[in-house]
Amino acid sequence: MKSLATQRRKPVAALVLVVLVLSLIGALYAAVGSATKVQAVDAPNSAEQIALGEKLFVQSCSSCHGIGGVGTDEAPSLVGAGEASADFQLSTGRMPLTAEQAQAQERTPVFSDEEIMAISKYVGSLGAGPSNPTASQLEYENADLALGGELFRTNCSQCHNFAGEGGALSNGKYAPNIRNASPLQIWQAMITGPENMPVFSDQTMSDSDKQAIIKFVNHLDNEPSFGGWDGGSLGPVSEGLTVFLLVIGLLIGAAVWIGAKVR
Amino acid sequence: MSNAIGNFASGLDDRLTIASWSRRNIRKVFPEHWSFMFGEMALYAFITVLLSGIYLTLFFKPSMTEVLYDGSYVPLKGVHMSEAYASTLDISFDVRGGLLLRQIHHWAALLFVAAMSVHLVRVFVTGAFRKPREINWMIGLGLLMMGFLAGFSGYSLPDDLLSGTGLRIAEGIMLSIPVIGTYLSFFLFDGEFPGDEFISRLYGIHILLIPGVILALITAHLLIVWYQKHTQYPGKGKTNDNVVGYPVMPIYAAKAGGFFFVVFGVIVAIAGVITINPIWGYGPYMPDQITAGSQPDWYMGWLEGALRIMPNWETVAWGHTISWNVFIPAAVLMGIVFTLLGAYPWLERWATPGDQTKDHNLLDRPRNAPTRTALATGSLTFYFLMLIAGGNDIIASQLDMSINAITWVVRIGIFVIPPFVFWITRRICLSLQRKDRDLLLHGVETGTMMRLPHGEFEEVHAPLSEEAKAVILSKETIEPIPYPEKTDANGVKTPHYHLKKMQAAVSHWLYRDAVPLPSAAELEAAEHHILESAEKGAPVMHQMRQLEAEGGVMHDPSAAEADRAAGVTVPHLDAEFDQKAEDEKGQQAD
Ligand code: HEM
């Protein structure tokens, strides 16, 4: 195993592997003809793409992650982080990291879609790691919504809250609001486990389970708020504030008004 | 015809003597102030809870039997859940008006406890709990506790993820009680948590037992208020022995009835537009699930906060773990707080000279009881810090802070901030007392400066209104109970020396530093003085008012000239002015 792993680390081997995998994926995508951006991958171009990715990586990332992504004191090694991880980090604007913060912030991405794809391919080529899902894997429309809800409440709501509004973790870290996350990002987050989030690998969560979760998260954002304004779905804290600031406030106003002497 | 009705009525009255009863009571007088409305607010919220709750009982099924959901809320179709949860979903989505009624019930429940709490604070800071009203204070505390229980039991009924999480914590608290904890939990849950009996047991408690007790307590509470009559704020013509206000019929009853509809209306309006407890989002309770932002309703928030900031202390004794980390914040703290609240009236009475016999029907202005008021603000600060700790995760994620930082700030803050607030409140009260004294001695500053002929500036002072004077003079000057001598003049030991010393110490703590009211002689002298100033200033004030109406400026010297030219004179000022001018001329001539 170990020798295989070292073999795999060799740039050439990695390249060959990537080209192979990519052409396979490319063929698949072409067959499916889906509209996701991953589809733009074209096997013949991937070597060029990786070269472009490497160039961008050296410019923007290597100061922290080291040349060849081997890692430094500043940042972890990206060998084996996988294409999905890089794509997730870049498309949510978390990387390149800027300020020293408890946690990388979501921002508008720094790079264009093409550049992101190139860098992701490059990071993917550094070592075997989670790769992006295929278009058919992302087809969640037929998934089981109720199952997705149950899986979400079992695996995700403890950090992201029952409505996907997010929540606090220790020491200033937090699980972000995921109501607007795209299906691709949800998938990537699950298989790469960014920062404090656990990895939900294929062994622990099947594709259909992931699709169900995506369907549920997507549904959260589209469900009408049945009881009226939902106060940010923060639970009893905002309800308590409402009682004191709004309800009691209104009633004191009324009490003063009624109590005012009529003359 | 009318005779027949009259006969019937008088016949009825002979038997029930309603007429004389109501003649006596309809003319009963109630004083009025907006701060007296919180009790009513609680009452009307309770009535709203009761009415909406009755509707909910028609559809709610208090059973933990597992069913497959097949209602109209699609995201839960086919999910296993308890009948209780399924029926609450049905109330929300398939019963006409059900969701609105659920939201009314829950908002009104929150308001019920909130209004009681504010009412308690009002009663405390105005000293309304003093003799003869200690009993009603205790009943009020009972109502507050029942409110907690009613709310918590209701919150647990729908068997959604939040209510299950709350019950899990309640179970943890039970288990933390040394020795009996485990037995208690097994007894209540009929075995291991959550069991399949608890919801149906809780149901009876929630809809029958607790509302029954609350109704009984409210009845007693109101009867006592009726019988003892309401207290009133000090003011002109208000004494310890009268009640000034409106008769119940028709004015007060109309106002109170109107207020019921205001309370009810506001609750319904809020329930119509703001979601509360979206149980469909939380999902059914599963012991292996939890959501970020799991919180109890607000009135339990301070205990939640205490739990969250408590360090993780445990002791293992004889093979049993004692969880101080749960037992102290959840069980002991609540016990201490309610014991202190219950004991306070008796404690204050014990340490107040002459209070053993005296009745108090006139309220204190909070500034006139600085220690008591400071106790209130200090305790409220403690309470709010706990609430903050209870919502630490929400605050952290909403305000981008570290949850650990908040926890530590509160851990240290509860020992530092309340004493500071206590100290500063006492200072403020005492300086307000000083200001009152100044008002009596110097009158109201009109803000109008008057320049005297010899150049000196003086502010015109006006006398206080009779009302304001009566309010300030209502203050009782209380001398703390003196410290006892160890032995009397004959060398005989004072009985209960240590107890008396403690009594004197508490008394000093309550009443030292009070700013005394001016003596009668001082007041009279002051009155004279103020009247003089007012009289002297009257023409100036008059002139100023005229000038202001024309947009003129008072200190413009030419205005006075113009006045003179126009023949407007202010006799004694003019005389002084002329005299002054003469003098100056004379000096120049010298
Ligand atoms: C004494 C004051 C009371 C308080 C503070 C109170 C509070 C609550 C609360 C907070 C809930 C949870 C509601 C939710 O969000 O779903 C609840 C549920 C419920 N309450 Fe009450 N309640 C009170 C009295 C009553 C009474 C008198 C009745 C009936 C006669 C009643 C019947 C119910 C029923 C059937 C439910 C469960 C149905 C549901 O959750 O939708 N309650 N109560």
Flag if A248 and B111 touch (Cβ within 8 Å): yes
Q: What is the mean pLDDT of residues B172-182?
A: 88
Residue A258 has pLDDT above 90, yes or no: no
**Min distance B92 CA to chain A CA atoms (Å):** 9
Side chain identity at residue B208, one-letter code: L
Question: Is A162 at the interface with chain B, CB within 8 A?
Answer: yes
Which chain B residues are within 8 Å of A226, Cβ to Cβ?
Answer: 92-93, 99, 275, 278, 280
SS3 B458: strand
Atom of ligand 1 nearest to the CA of B88: 41
Atom of ligand 1 nearest to the CA of B57: 35
Distance, CA of B309 to CA of B318 (rounded, Å): 27
Torsion sign, CA atoms A92, A162, B151, B403 = negative
- Main-chain dihedrals φ then ψ at residue B525, nearest 5 degrees: -60, -45
Cα separation, B507 vs B150, whole angstroms? 38
pLDDT of B367 strictly over 60: yes
pTM metric for this prediction? 0.84
Q: Ligand 1 pocket test: which of B56, B81, B205 has the largest number of ligand atoms within 8 Å of its C-beta?
A: B56
Label each residue of chain A as H, E or C. Answer: CHHHHHHHHCHHHHHHHHHHHHHHHHHHHHHHCCCCHHHHCCHHHHHHHHHHHHHHHHHHCHHHHCHHHCCCCCCCCCCCCCHHHHHHHHHCCCCCCCCCCCCCCCCCCCCCHHHHHHHHHHHHHCCCCCCCCCCCCCCCCCCCHHHHHHHHHHHCHHHHCCCCCCEECHHHCEECCCCCCCHHHHHHHHHHCCCCCCCCCCCCCCHHHHHHHHHHHHHHHHCCCCCCECHHHCCHHHHHHHHHHHHHHHHHHHHHHHHCCCC
Q: Nearest residue CA, atom 9 of ligand 1?
A: B154
Q: What is the pLDDT of residue B438?
A: 87
Provide the residue count of chain A.
263
Work out the average pLDDT over B211-234.
90
Lowest mean pLDDT: which of A8-22, A109-123, B241-255? A8-22
* Residues B123 and B129: beta-carbon distance below 8 Å: yes
3-state secondary structure B42-57: HHHHHHHHHHHHHHHH
Cβ-in-10-Å burial (0-12, 13-18, 19+) of A91 comes to buried
Contact B90, B98 (CB under 8 A): yes
Q: Which atom of ligand 1 is nearest to the CA of B147?
A: 5
* Ligand 1 centroid, distance to B209 Cα (angstroms): 12
Task: Note the pLDDT of residue A35.
Answer: 40
Q: Is the pLDDT reported for residue A12 higher than 90? A: no
Residue B384's pLDDT is what?
A: 95
* B323 vs A: CB within 8 A: no
Highest-pLDDT range among A56-70, B370-384, B522-536: B370-384
Is the pLDDT at A1 greater than 50, yes or no? no
B427, B384 in Cβ contact below 8 A?
no
Using a CB-CB cut-off of 8 Å, the residues of chain B touching A167 are 292-293, 393, 397
Report CA(B157)–ligand 1 centroid distance (Å). 8
- Which residues on A lie below 8 Å from B398 (Cβ)? 234
Neighbours of A98 (CB within 10 A): 12
Q: Take residue B435 and report the two structure tokens written for it.
A: 């200001």
Q: For residues B244 and B237, give the distance between their C-alpha atoms in angstroms, rounded to a whole number.
A: 8
pLDDT at A24: 59
CB contacts under 8 A, B 341-400 vs A, are 391-394, 396-398, 400
Q: What share of chain B is helix, strand, coil (3-state, %, to 5)?
A: 65, 5, 25
d(CA B525, CA B521): 6
Query: Which residue, among B401, B396, B392, B402, has the nearest Cα to B306 in the 3D structure?
Result: B392
- pLDDT, residue A3, reads 47
What's B78-110 look like in SS3? Answer: CCEEEHHHHHHHHHHHCCCCHHHHHHHHHHHHH
Distance CA B191, CA B198 (A): 10
What are the φ and ψ backbone dihedral angles of A196, each rounded to 5 degrees? -80, 0
b vs e for B283-293, b when ≥16 Cβ sit within 10 Å of the residue's Cβ?
bbbeeebbbbb
Surface-to-core class of residue A141, CB atoms within 10 Å of its CB (0-12 exposed, 13-18 middle, 19+ buried)? exposed
A133 close to A184: Cβ distance less than 8 angstroms: yes
User: Does A174 contact B290 at a Cβ distance shorter than 8 Å?
Assistant: no
Sign of the alpha-carbon dihedral angle for B71, B75, B80, B82: negative
Sign of CA dihedral B184, B189, B194, B198: negative
Q: Which residue type is seen at B508?
A: H
**What sign for the dihedral angle of Cα A119, A121, A122, A124?**
positive
Model confidence at B401, pLDDT cuts 50, 70, 90, reads: confident
Q: Tens digits of per-residue pLDDT, B234-260?
A: 878 777 777 777 676 677 777 778 889
Query: Using CA atoms, how far apart are residues B492 and B515, in angstroms rounded to an integer?
Result: 36
Token pair, residue B218, equals 């409210």
Nearest to A145 among B75, B115, B288 (CB): B75
Q: Is B76 in contact with A162 (Cβ distance < 8 A)?
A: no
- Expressed in angstroms and rounded, the spacing between residue B492 Cα and the centre of ligand 1 is 64
More confident residue, B529 or B589: B529
pLDDT greater than 80 at residue B473: yes
What CA–CA distance (Å, rounded) separates B519 from B461? 20
What average pLDDT does the segment A5-27 reach? 54
Mean pLDDT for chain B overall? 86
Instruction: State the distance from the centre of ligand 1 to the C-alpha of B279, rounded, in angstroms.
Output: 14
| Alpha helical stretches, state H, B443-519 | 466-473, 497-511
Return the pLDDT at A30.
Answer: 47
Strand partners, B160: B284
Asked whether A134 and A28 are in contact (CB, 8 A), the reply is yes
Strand segments (E) across B151-299? 246-247
Task: Report whether residue B154 contacts ligand 1, using a CB cutoff of 6 Å.
Answer: yes
Our answer on whether the CB atom of B122 is closer than 6 Å to any ligand 1 atom is no
Band of pLDDT at residue B2, cut at 50, 70 and 90: low
In sequence order, which residues have a C-beta less than 8 Å from that of residue B371 and are 6 or more positions away?
Answer: B426, B509, B510, B511
pLDDT-derived band at B330, boundaries 50, 70, 90: confident
Percent of chain B whose pLDDT exceeds 90: 48
Q: Which two tokens stand for residue B289?
A: 């699930």
Q: Per residue in B276-320, pLDDT tens?
A: 999 999 999 998 889 888 899 999 999 999 999 988 888 888 877
Residue A27's pLDDT is 55
Q: Is A112 on the interface with B (CB under 8 A)?
A: no
List the alpha helices (DSSP H) in B443-494: 466-473
Q: Is the pLDDT higher at B12 or at B496?
A: B496
Res A17: pLDDT = 54
Q: What is the Cα–Cα distance from A112 to A40, expressed in whole angstroms?
A: 14
**Could you say which of B274, B281, B394 has the minimum Cβ distance to residue A242?**
B274
The CA distance from B16 to B166, in Å, is 50
Q: According to the per-residue pLDDT averaged within each range, which of A189-203, B283-297, B414-428, B429-443 is highest? A: B414-428
Largest CA distance in chain B: 114
- The reply to whether residue B79 touches residue A248, judged by beta carbons under 8 angstroms, is no
Over 80: is that where the pLDDT of A9 sits?
Answer: no
Q: Ligand 1: distance of its center to the CA of B53 in Å?
A: 5
Confidence of residue A47 (pLDDT cuts 50, 70, 90): confident
Q: Tell me the chain B residues in contact with residue A145 when contact means C-beta distances shorter than 8 Å.
A: 74-75, 77
Task: Quote the CA–CA distance of B208 and A230 in Å, as a whole number.
Answer: 31
